[in-house]
Structure formats: structure tokens, C-alpha cells
Amino acid sequence: MTIKCVLFDFSGTLFRVESTGSWLRAVLAEAEVTLTEAELTRSAAELEAVGALPGGAVPVRPLPAELAEVWRRRDESAAAHRAAFTGASRQVSLPDPALHEALYDRHMRPAAWRPYPDAAEVLAALRERGIAVGVVSNIGWDLRPVFRAHGLDPYVGAYVLSYEHGIQKPDVRLFAAACEALGTEPGSTLMVGDDRRSDAGAAALGCAVHFVDHLPVASRPDGLRPVLDLIG
């Protein structure tokens, strides 16, 4: 197979969101709310357990039944995404109820995200080789400002975001939309992601698929470089 296009997932693939503790600490500081270190640590652990940070840990504590459906379809619209994650956050008691919305807003800021160390290098190398690049993400908000703020936007030819299409991976229509936007065929496209279920949906369309590990930025310095070997 000759690869002419590479599609990337966003969270856990090209970028990693800040830790739950850093996320909570930033919002508390901005709101001028003070917690003891023990209280902050406990609240961060509880938020992580319910999966309240988008792009962070998956829930390990069961969510209420009334959240189940909106959680399942959370990436199909901006409203569902906000409702799902603020609903999860509200399972944790915080000093001010307004903090739940503030936490959601914080995760959409470029400062909450860091690119993996080799992301710019790999994207630049693909561009030099004439390989089309797209981003296909299950998400409920516009991630383009994150790419612009971190200098990666010039390498991306198309963004295909679930909430803008009303469908989410592994639905093949999302990958098909990306191929169409970039003028490429699935048979010459490689999908790179960290989710063995969602990103694997590209294979049903005929794309090759390569997985990376969803690790902290410091723990994965060169996880994207093998993509360059795959395209030859």
C-alpha cells in the first residue's frame, strides 16, 4: 500500500491534556478559591474517578443512570459534550457550583494541552514528503485554536470533528468525510490513533490503522515517529 494521506486522532495521539490536578488547580486559582493541599488532592482524585476531564481518564466510578445516554453520545454535539462532562463533574462536591462549568471551559483552552514531543517533527516530515494530513476527532468543541496556539495548524489540511458532523468514531462516515476533504482514497490512507475501538473504525472503510499509547507527554517522547517508517 502506498500511503498518500495520514489521519490523526487528537487527544492521546497528537496532544495530551493536562493532569486532573493541574486542571483543578488552575480553575481554583482563577476563581480565587482556596483549598488545602489535601482537599485539592482528594477532589482531583474524585474528578478523575468519574472521568470529568475530557481527554483524561475514563470513568472508574459508575455514573448516574440519567447520564448514561448523553455520555454514550457525548461527542455528537457541543451541547451533549458539555452536558456529559459537567454532569460527571457535578458528581463531585466543590466549594462553588460554578466551578463545574469553569472546569469544562478550562479544558478547551490551548494552555490545557501539550503536543507530544515528536508531533511537530512528524507532521513537518509528512508535509515535506507531500503526504496529506487530517485530524479526525471525537470531540464537542473546536480544537483548531489549540493547533494554532502550538504551531501545528499549518501542517493540517482538514479537521473532521464529530460534533460538527453529528456522528462519532468508529462510524466510518467520519473517516470517509476526512478522505473526501483531503481528496484521497481510503486505500491509500493511514489512520493513527490511541483508541483501539474508535480509531479502528477506519479499517472498515479500507484504511490502514496504526495505534499509539495514550501516555503522559513526558512518557512518550517518540511514539509518533514510527508513522514515518510506515509510509516509506
Are 210 and 226 a contacting pair, CB within 8 Å? yes
The pLDDT tens digits of the residues spanning 220-232 come to: 999 999 999 998 7
Average of per-residue pLDDT values in the chain:
97
pLDDT exceeds cutoff 90 at 119? yes
The pLDDT tens digits of the residues spanning 74-101 come to: 999 999 999 999 999 999 999 999 999 9
Beta strand 113-115 pairing with 15-17: antiparallel
What letter would DSSP give residue 188? G
Are 7 and 192 a contacting pair, CB within 8 Å? yes
Q: Residue 224: its pLDDT value, please?
A: 98
Are 191 and 136 a contacting pair, CB within 8 Å? yes
Q: Residue 109: its pLDDT value, please?
A: 98
Classify domain 5-16+114-230 by CATH architecture.
Answer: 3-Layer(aba) Sandwich (3.40)
Residue type, 99: L
Report the percentage of the chain scoring pLDDT > 70.
Answer: 100
The pLDDT tens digits of the residues spanning 178-226 come to: 999 999 999 999 999 999 999 999 999 999 999 999 999 999 999 999 9
- Domain ranges within the chain, ordered by starting residue: 5-16+114-230, 17-111
pLDDT exceeds cutoff 80 at 1? no
Look-up of cell digits 494521506: 5
| Number of separate helices (H) and strands (E) present in the chain | 10, 7
